[in-house]
Amino acid sequence: MTSLRAVIEKLGLESVSSFSFSDRTVTGGYASDLLSCTMKGAGENYIWVTLQSHLNVVAVASLANLAGVIITEGNRPDQETITRAEKEGVILMVTSKTTFTIVGVLASLGVRGESPIPESP
């Protein structure tokens, strides 16, 4: 368990929305640019690393109750997306680094990535 604030500081992330929720706890991590995969693979309070930056990212993060979204490779959400994120209490963070680099640092911080939904037998 890591605090989102620690993640933001260690990775030098720029938070673009809902910073007031940054005392959330991160219980795991997930990286994908496919939204359905994130729905399945990211557990509650997981941090999601993606290069997608559009409105639906907020919907997924809010519905899956994620701790936050790190948008990589310099992609930036537009104002409409930021406004929605503020409304839904979703923390969007941006970085110019790649998903690979960010995941590497997250792993070194002890963030794990087990899938919350067990595979059906």
Q: Does 98 bind another protein (CB under 8 A)?
A: no
Show Cβ contacts of residue 70 under 8 Å, excluding neighbours closer than 6 positions.
Answer: 11, 13, 47, 48, 49, 50, 93, 94, 95, 102
Contact 34, 55 (CB under 8 A): no
Q: Does 75 bind another protein (CB under 8 A)?
A: no
Q: Does 5 bind another protein (CB under 8 A)?
A: no
Residue 50 CA to residue 70 CA, distance in Å, equals 6
Q: Does 63 bind another protein (CB under 8 A)?
A: yes
Which of 2, 28, 29, 50: binder of another protein (CB under 8 A)? 50
Binding site for another protein (CB under 8 A): 14-15, 17-20, 23, 33-37, 39-40, 44, 50, 52, 54-60, 62-65, 80, 86, 88, 117, 120
